[in-house]
């Protein structure tokens, strides 16, 4: 179970290294830092409305990142260095430019039922509207089809109908494809949203768990060394359900601990973190938490009460400069105003928690928020180009942030 204590580095290929050839050339940097797994954020062809999470071809590589052959060479080189590769798998939705959705827009096409359509746009009235500041409702009018299609996130992302068996077969084929091309795992994007049912919030339904268990069964039967990492943000007990006695997802993001880590910093109260760690215990032995501080998304605090959320945001983003929906999007160095001691203290706490540990690219060298144009998706402030000049300086300095975090990784290496 290599993934139980993996040190995962999350990155955009283009922002970190330009393309897959460049990423292969940068593997020594990651190996030296102590990384043994890379999570590659969406690399698929895409209109890039949602920075790649609007997929238009699940078996392709975005041309600016290289070719499928470049991807395969990367995985071969990474494996030779003891580094695993995880890719994103966007199960909930596809781009409205995806050929399958274009086919489904024709009411007579057999692909029609692979997406959710409505003549009235009144179904699922209680469903989560994840981007309520961007669209008023989840049903989006499609003029060519003469009906509405359902969209949980951006309007340009159409949700799949997982009640249609062909959707499962479609994604099994995709998973097989990428494993055969060197992939060691899949991050299941928006895992809790994939099933829909009227008069529910369409989140964390039993039907979603059943789908994930079927995917796990396929993986266990055919690729026992491949891992599923679920993106789920819910209460601690509901999140544990995604392990489901060790038969669902191998890893699940630990949003519960993430929120309380920041709350402990804001209140200068270590007990908040320690108690949260205890609450995360009692999971199946063949499962593990994926612990993290930051990611490519906003700092989601939905597991806290309003007063706690406001307390955290007021400390880190008091002017509301980086607000995204109800929360804020910030890199660690921007949150802690470049205070190296606080950033290292946060990483030290992170690595005290049992499980896998995720480092977001650039946080190890103190990269700060980007400036973006007004009206852009605010999450892009944490998605800037990696600063290699700064990285070279950090690596050569034994008292740098990079060296401090590297030391923490070494302290917690298996067998230490």
| Active site positions, annotated | 189, 231
Place of tokens 């392990």: 243
Helices (H) and strands (E) in the chain, counts: 15, 15
Distance CA 205, CA 186 (A): 21
Count of beta carbons in the 10 Å neighbourhood of residue 239: 23
User: Which residues neighbour 178 within 8 Å (Cβ) at sequence distance 6 or greater?
Assistant: 87, 186
Q: Could you give the CA distance from residue 91 to residue 207 in angstroms, rounded to a whole number?
A: 14
3-state secondary structure of 260: helix
- Sequence-distant (6+) residues with CB within 8 A of 220 are none
Instruction: Tell me how far apart the alpha carbons of residues 78 and 85 are, in angstroms, rounded to a whole number.
Output: 8
Contacts of 383 (CB under 8 A, 6+ apart): 12, 15, 51, 296, 370
Where are the extended beta strands (E) located within 41-99?
A: 84-90, 93-95
Task: Classify 207 as helix, strand or coil.
Answer: helix
Measured CA to CA, the distance from residue 14 to residue 84 in angstroms comes to 19
CA distances in angstroms from 283 to 6, 99, 151, 280, 399, listed in the order given:
17, 41, 33, 8, 37
- At residue 363, what are phi and psi to the nearest 5 degrees? -65, -25
226 membership: H or E segment, kind and range: none
Q: Please spell the DSSP secondary structure of 86-150, one letter per residue.
A: EEEEE-SEEETTSHHHHHHTSTTSTTGGGB-EESSS-S-TTS--TTTTT-S-SEEEETTTTEEEE
Q: Which of 167, 169, 130, 133 lies closest to 150, judged by CA?
A: 130
Helix (H, G, I), strand (E, B) or coil at 37: strand
């Amino acid at each position: 179970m290599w993934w139980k204590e993996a040190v995962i580095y999350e990155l955009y290929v283009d922002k970190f290294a330009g393309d897959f050839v460049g990423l292969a050339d940068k593997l020594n940097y990651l190996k030296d830092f102590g990384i043994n797994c890379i999570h590659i954020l969406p690399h698929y062809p895409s209109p890039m409305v949602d920075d790649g999470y609007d997929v238009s071809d699940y078996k392709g590589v975005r041309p600016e990142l290289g070719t499928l052959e470049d991807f395969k060479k990367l995985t071969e080189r990474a494996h030779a260095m003891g580094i695993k590769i995880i890719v994103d798998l966007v199960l909930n939705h596809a781009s409205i430019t995806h050929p399958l959705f274009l086919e489904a827009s024709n009411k007579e096409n057999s692909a029609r039922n692979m997406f959710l359509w409505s003549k009235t746009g009144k179904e699922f009235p209680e469903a989560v509207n994840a981007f309520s500041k961007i669209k008023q409702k989840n049903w989006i009018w499609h003029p060519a089809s003469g009906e509405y299609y359902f969209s949980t996130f951006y309007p340009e992302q159409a949700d799949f109908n997982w009640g249609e068996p062909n959707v499962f077969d479609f994604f099994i084929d995709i998973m097989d494809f990428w494993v055969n091309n060197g992939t060691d795992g899949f991050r299941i994007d928006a895992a809790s949203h994939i099933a829909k049912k009227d008069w529910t919030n369409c989140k964390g339904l039993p039907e979603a768990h059943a789908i994930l268990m079927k995917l796990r069964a396929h993986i266990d039967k055919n690729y026992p060394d491949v891992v599923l990492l679920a993106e789920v943000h819910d209460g601690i007990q509901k999140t544990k359900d995604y392990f489901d006695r060790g038969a669902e997802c191998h890893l699940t993001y630990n949003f519960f601990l993430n929120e309380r880590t920041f709350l402990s910093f804001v209140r200068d109260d270590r007990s908040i973190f320690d108690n949260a760690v205890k609450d995360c215990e009692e999971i199946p032995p063949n499962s593990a938490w994926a612990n993290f501080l930051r990611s490519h998304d906003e700092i989601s605090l939905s597991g806290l009460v309003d007063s706690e959320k406001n307390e955290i945001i007021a400390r880190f983003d008091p002017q509301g400069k980086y607000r995204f929906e109800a929360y804020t999007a910030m890199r660690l160095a921007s949150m802690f105003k470049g205070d190296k001691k606080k950033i290292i203290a946060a990483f030290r706490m992170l690595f005290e928690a049992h499980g896998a540990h995720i480092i977001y690219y650039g946080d190890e060298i103190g990269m700060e928020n980007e400036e973006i144009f007004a009206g852009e998706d605010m999450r892009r402030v944490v998605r800037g180009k990696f600063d290699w000049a700064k990285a070279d300086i950090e690596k050569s300095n034994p008292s740098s942030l990079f060296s401090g975090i590297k030391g923490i990784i070494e302290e917690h290496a298996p067998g230490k």
